[in-house]
Structure 1
Amino acid sequence: MDDDLRTATLAAGPLLLRPWLPEDIPTLIEAYRDPAMRAMLVRLVEDEAEARHWLRVEQEGREAGSRFGFAVIDRDLDGEPVGNVVLKYPAPGSESGEVGYWTAARARGRGVAPRALGALTDWAFEAFAGDGLVRLDLLHQVDNDASCRVAEKSGYGFAEVLPAQAPWPLDGHRHVRLRSGDVR
């Protein structure tokens, strides 16, 4: 794996996207205490041991080239992470990957998610163009109207309704963004 991918840091206006660090653990635990966020995520972080495991999974994914998670720092605030964006890229040579994100309660409504997701998307299409990446999917449950708005603001068009599938109790939405210039 290219060292540039392992250590990639991205910028989007006042936002800095960087790999998660052990010193982010208290902020990570605090973000996961938010009931709204807990309702939308599969993997929960409730204590330091789970936060360390979460960080280890992120680091192992980055090393394997299959998962690139970024702590989102709003430099206009206090320099602590206010969100997360992630590229889940199944394997080199895959045409598609999946993106995900969350925003801490204290940073919602400030445009953090669309800006961070836009930066991640642009980076993914550039970094993995040579491997054949042409499509990114964003998935969420149908009751998550905020994620529909973030998807639209980030250029991810609604593609389809997905049937409920464990661990999700409700149907979902798939939003898709294609690499610019691609016609499908």
Structure 2
Amino acid sequence: MPDITTRIQVDATPTAPALVLRPWTASDAPELVASGRDRALRRWTSFAVDDESSAVRWLREQRRGWERGHFAFAVEEAHPSGTGGLVAGHVVLKHVAPGAASAEVGYWTAERARGRAIAPRALRALTDWTATTFARDGLKRLELIHQTDNTASCRVAEKSRYELTAVLPPLPPAHPRDGHLHVRHLTEDPG
């Protein structure tokens, strides 16, 4: 399994700063609490951080997840000075198991960072890292699931070359609406 010190660098574009995908740390708690107040984020995800203590619990769960095939990364906008920037979102690779052919990805974007192509760039970087890190162990396919009415998430999937392959029925209470299943095969050319 990868080390919890893994960092993934994403180059700047002409219109967007570089990104750093890094494991979550305790110092991220205040930004998590701020993101937890975002109604749109709560509508589309199971993210439930209301205060400092729930942020600390969530961060602890993310760090422990690295031992169980759940690789959660803070998405940070790189500051031009080279120092750490603000957390712009979250990407995660879930359900990685030795010999398993598929795993799942997920993401969310902080309210202040939406509409700036943060999520697709972070998801593409996570996908490339996953292919490099796990494909030789038999991982061939990544799945991405979102509610059908979450059009922004659908656009992120499409921009990241995850093909819409099925509409899933609701599974309340966690998934009260139909879902889209997008798939990316790791044998594809990353272009």
Q: TM-score range by the shorter chain?
A: over 0.9
The sequence identity of aligned pairs, in percent, is 51
Moved more, 70-79 or 47-56: 70-79
Query: Does the CA contact (< 8 Å) of 2:36 and 2:47 recur in 1?
Result: no
Aligned partners of 1:157, 1:74: CA distance in 2, in Å? 27
Could you tell me which residue of structure 1 aligns to residue 185 of structure 2? 178
Aligned partners of 2:52, 2:104: CA distance in 1, in Å? 27
The total of aligned residue pairs comes to 179
| Residues 25-72 of structure 1: per-residue CA shift (max 9 Å, x gap) | 0001101111110101123110111111111111111023x1000000
RMSD of aligned Cα (Å): 1.5
Could you tell me which residue of structure 2 aligns to residue 27 of structure 1? 31
1:122 to 119, 123, 128: 128
Q: Does residue 1:62 correspond to 2:66, yes or no?
A: yes
What is the TM-score when the length of structure 1 is the normalising length? 0.93
Which stretches of structure 1, 4 residues or longer, exceed 4 Å deviation after superposition?
none
Q: Which secondary structure does the structure 2 equivalent of 1:99 belong to? A: strand
Aligned partners of 1:76, 1:163: CA distance in 2, in Å? 42
Listed as ranges, the matches of 1:85-124 within 5 Å are 85-124=91-130
2:3 to 5, 8, 12: 5
1:37 to 38, 41, 47: 41
| Residues 107-154 of structure 1: per-residue CA shift (max 9 Å, x gap) | 011110000000000001110112111100010001100011000000
Could you tell me which residue of structure 1 aligns to residue 15 of structure 2? none
